[in-house]
A and B are shown apart, each in its own frame.
Chain A
Amino acid sequence: MAEFRMPSLGADMESAALVGWRVKPGDHVQRGDVIADVEADKGTFEVQIFEDGIIDQLVVQPSDTRIPVGTVLALLRAEGEPAAQPAERAPSRVERLAPEEARPVEQPVPVQPQVVPVERRLKVSPLARKVAAELGIDLNTVQGTGLHGAIERADVERAAEARKLAAKAALPPAEKAPPLAEKPPAAVVEEKAPPLTAEKAAPSALKTKSAEQQAAMRRAIAAAMSRANREIPHYYLQTHIDMSRALAWLEAENLKRSIKQRLLPAVLLIKAVARALGDVPELNGYWIDDHLEMQEAIHIAFAISLRQGGLITPAIHDADLKSLDELMETLHDLIARTRSGGLRSSELTDGTITVTNLGDMGVETVYGVIYPPQVALVGFGKVTEQTWVENGMIGVRPVITATLAGDHRASDGHRGGQFLDALNRHLQEVEKL
């Protein structure tokens, strides 16, 4: 029997409410299936499972309660594996099977739903540490609300309360639960996932909720960015890139297309970053446990700002393998789902580097903050006309400023420079992208 736990959807997530299940006991699931919706600080997201099997039991029922990351939400059995013994699901119930039928209870194997290991240095007040020890609370699961995210006594008590509620939800009250013999396990939970609370809420409640969501979004960003600023020794490099070839190519290409099929310059930038990472792989990966873990797959997290404030950086999977049209299609899809709240867990956690494009705001140069545990962020500013000297000739060219924020633990300025150089090269050979 495997355990499906509340995933961490990024460095800034500590807990989330289970909004609804998309599966019921007995359902067959495959790696990548969306099985639940959760509401975290940054919005509502689809949670995927990364294991094949059959849903054996839904341990936690949907509610508004915040459930800490790492809490077991469901049990999953392998194809052919017998359903959980009654003893396993509710220890208080009488063992019904004859002794010869009883099987040794398997130790659950944790299935982490593709969680990027997040290394944290915890700030904990001495009192909070003492209380946590008394209550048996893992400090790693506690959201600190003190100065610089420090964990205080109240935070620990909140976590204990959340755990109690989660445990309560896991075991339905005995008087309500039908005897197992009368109801087969597969029918224990049949109700469909309830519609998102926002849809049910009255307009006035909606407004309060959206204000709350914005505050929560700010807290989530604050947590991740404070950690980045505390832990990551950033270095910054910048270069000007002549965009005349790239933009001329794009204009000619878009002339052939209907409005709906047009490509945005951002697509060229994303693809060029992906190509340049192929040349300088040290910038594509995670800093975990004091060493760099380079990633082979290039998943570019693209910063998408929300109209109501805040931003989300969903990953464009395998950006290096996608054509420009496929990238544009992915971008359409991601932007639409970022704004409507249908992002999947893998899109929130898989990013191996972040790209942010602030050119639309008239910004010329971006000095970004790296999203841990990633080790680099590439920023693009506005394309402006500038005087440009090439081969002794002065001309006016559309120029973009590209910046690299690098984690100095993982790479040095020399490699960072090589990356920007490669980026420039790929943008000069845009037809090969």
Chain B
Amino acid sequence: MNETQIKEVIINALKRIAPESSPQTLGPDQDVRQTLDIDSYDFLMFLVGLNEALGVEIPEADYGKLVTLDDIVSYLAARVKVSG
């Protein structure tokens, strides 16, 4: 799975928890949770969505590494390759 496909998965997962938002327009260095107003419950649901789509388990300790869209894409890209 390449980065474009991963990005698509992320955007779909964000759309599911924030249907009225347009995650496509997120800048690469914008804080995703802050920009889309995602609380900790929704963030957990977002991770569940990513887990279902990509099979990546993200430990709590890594939450801090998932701030911007670029962060999330590269974090997942590294792990999808390893596990896939």
| A163 CB-CB contact with B under 8 Å | no
Q: Are B60 and A262 in contact (CB under 8 A)?
A: yes
Q: Which of A251, A259, A331, A361 contacts B41 (CB 8 A)?
A: A331
Stretch at the interface among B2-10, B51-59, B64-72, B75-83: B51-59
Q: Are A265 and B44 in contact (CB under 8 A)?
A: no
Q: Are A259 and B51 in contact (CB under 8 A)?
A: yes
Q: Which of A255, A260, A308, A360 contacts B40 (CB 8 A)?
A: A360
Give the residue name and chain of the A residue nearest to B56 (CB): A259
Interface of A is mostly: helix
Q: Bound state CA distance, A208 and B13, in angstroms?
A: 27
The interface on chain B, measured as residues whose beta carbon lies within 8 A of the other chain's beta carbons, has a size of: 16
Q: Are A255 and B41 in contact (CB under 8 A)?
A: no
The interface on chain A, measured as residues whose beta carbon lies within 8 A of the other chain's beta carbons, has a size of: 18
Q: Which of B18, B44, B48, B60 contacts A255 (CB 8 A)?
A: B60
- Summed over the interface, the residue pairs from A and B with CB atoms below 8 Å come to a total of 35
Name A296-338 residues within 8 Å CB distance of B: 305, 307-308, 331, 335
Q: Which of B37, B39, B58 contacts A259 (CB 8 A)?
A: B58
Q: Are B47 and A259 in contact (CB under 8 A)?
A: yes
B76 CB, min distance to chain A CBs, angstroms: 13
Q: Are A254 and B60 in contact (CB under 8 A)?
A: yes
Residues from chain A with Cβ under 8 Å of B19 in the complex: 307
Residues from chain A with Cβ under 8 Å of B39 in the complex: 305, 360-361
Give the residue name and chain of the A residue nearest to B39 (CB): A360
| B29 CB-CB contact with A under 8 Å | no
Q: Bound state CA distance, A259 and B19, in angstroms?
A: 22
| B1 CB-CB contact with A under 8 Å | no
Residues from chain A with Cβ under 8 Å of B48 in the complex: 259-260
Cβ proximity bits B14-30 to A, threshold 8 Å, 1 near / 0 not: 00001110000000000
- Interface, chain A (partner B; CB < 8 A): 251, 254-255, 258-260, 262, 264-266, 305, 307-308, 331, 335, 359-361
* 12 further A-B pairs in the complex, CB-CB below 8 A; given A251-B60, A265-B40, A305-B39: A255-B59, A259-B47, A259-B48, A259-B57, A259-B58, A260-B48, A260-B51, A262-B60, A266-B41, A307-B20, A307-B37, A360-B39
